Amino acid sequence: MKSAVVLLAGLFAFTAYYVYLPLPSTVSEPWRLMLLDASFRAAQQSCNLAHYLGLGHHLRILNFIIGTFDKLNLQYVEQEQVKITDTQFDGVEVRVYEPAKAEENLRRGVVYIHGGGWALSSTRGSFYNNLCSVMAKSLDAVVVSIEYRLVPDFHFPVQFNDVLHAARHFMQPEILAQYSVDPGRVAISGDSAGGNLAAAVCQEMSQDQNETGRFKLQALVYPVLQAFDFNTPSYQQNEFTPVLPRFVMVKFWIDYFNGNREFAHSLVVNNHTSLDVGQASSFRDRVDWTSLITPRLRKTYRPVTPTTGRVEILQAIPSLLNVRAAPLLAEKQVLRLQPKTYILTCEIDVLRDDGIMYAKRLEDAGVEITLDHIEDCFHGCMIFTIWPTHFSAGIRTRDRYIKWLHENL
């Protein structure tokens, strides 16, 4: 009996220790976030163990767990109001959401790219299925959600090319006509790694010779935009914050390029872009947050710019500085071509400054920009709107994003 009590107390203490995280006082619903983070961490750690035991690649197992969890999720939207079709655009799988109610006029369109570190999630899971259905319904728009292929089976530039091919296919006049979409009212959008792909593909298509097939808007939700500097103020401030600690983000980047994970510790201290790494120098001012970010957000953080680092990292993974992977690194002439842009950032997010720097560089290039900064939200919040991972802050974020699209598209 006594030992059982001790055991229980021990278990309780361990669980509390595992779940408890010091969070900024501004975060909304902190306990719910701690539980979400602890579950995600436990899943990641189990997957790492399974990977170590040779049972499969940890990312594939993690995606399987997320998919299974998704199936348990009973709360689907009122899908009778939206017609959902799985099809292919130029060989790339897509899921198309069309409002069910008849409409005489042409509709708006949104090309949507889901997040998940280029490795996780799916258009078909409840999170994104729900988001895209809500978007189709509330915007009365045709939403094309792209099922691009994932890490670890595929790596950069496969994800970029999948999104590019599907987006170009949809933007052809005859395809838009088939879906009754107004060619002048189509946006490209995505969250997190999907925001990365949206920004990169938007840049690519803005340079197409064809005047037709251009997006009216881009809307990027806490996008990941650069792998140059892992010591921006937001990376420093949120080094250990859920659901995306710095080290996890660095590993997503390395896996995107199928690079050596041994480099992760060096990337964290910016050894890949130290002053002695020649290729890095021409990009340095494009991520110079001492001028791109306001003092209020810079706080007292200092740049981490080592004099000497490890030249071999960029030799092994040159794509770290490829603009198709890191759209923040694009030159000003390309930024000038971008459509009106919405960028949503969260204070409690390592990627906050990726978004803020991109907003500033686009603004300096003459692009009309809305930077929507949310003080009490964490990375990924927008998809956490359904039970049991529902956050009122998530719903608030999603509504602000949809409201902007509604007013501007």
Ligand X SMILES: *[C@@H]1O[C@H](CO)[C@@H](O)[C@H](O)[C@H]1NC(C)=O
**Residues sharing a CB contact under 8 Å with residue 396, sequence separation 6 or more, in sequence order:** 374
264 versus 325: smaller Cβ distance to ligand X: 264
Where does this chain touch ligand X (CB under 6 A) — which range of 149-157, 177-185, 218-226, 305-313? 305-313
Contacts of 185 (CB under 8 A, 6+ apart): 106, 108, 109, 216, 409
**Amino acid in position 182:** D
Q: Is 319 a catalytic residue?
A: no
Q: Residue 244: left if φ>0, alpha if ψ -120 to 50, beta else—which one?
A: beta
Tell me which of 15, 48, 178, 212 binds ligand X, using CB under 6 A.
212
Cβ 244 vs Cβ 350: under 8 Å: yes
Candidates 208, 331, 364, 368; binder of ligand X (CB under 6 A) is 208
- What does the block give as tokens for 377? 């939200």
| The token pair that represents 221 in the structure block | 């939700």
What is d(CA 275, CA 277) in angstroms, rounded to the nearest whole number? Answer: 6
Tell whether residue 172 is a contact of ligand X (CB under 6 A). Answer: yes
187/355 Cα distance (integer angstroms): 18
Decide if residue 300 touches ligand X (CB under 6 A).
no
Q: Does 30 bind ligand X (CB under 6 A)?
A: no
Residue of 129, 237, 271, 341 that binds ligand X (CB under 6 A): 271
Please choose, out of 225-233, 263-271, 280-288, 335-343, the segment that lies near ligand X by the rule CB under 6 A: 263-271
184 is a site residue for ligand X (CB under 6 A): no
Tell the smallest beta-carbon distance from residue 306 to ligand X (Å).
6
Catalytic residue among 145, 192, 274, 319: 192
Give Cα separations from 351 to 24, 255, 397 (angstroms): 16, 18, 16
Give the residue with the Cβ less far from ligand X, 164 or 292: 164
| Binding window for ligand X (CB under 6 A); candidates: 146-154, 208-216, 280-288, 354-362 | 208-216
Q: Using the rule CB under 6 A, which residue among 23, 248, 269, 316 binds ligand X?
A: 269
Residue with tokens 């660095």: 250
| Residues noted as catalytic | 192
- Judged by the rule CB under 6 A, the positions of this chain that interact with ligand X are 172-173, 208-210, 212, 265-266, 269, 271, 306, 308-310
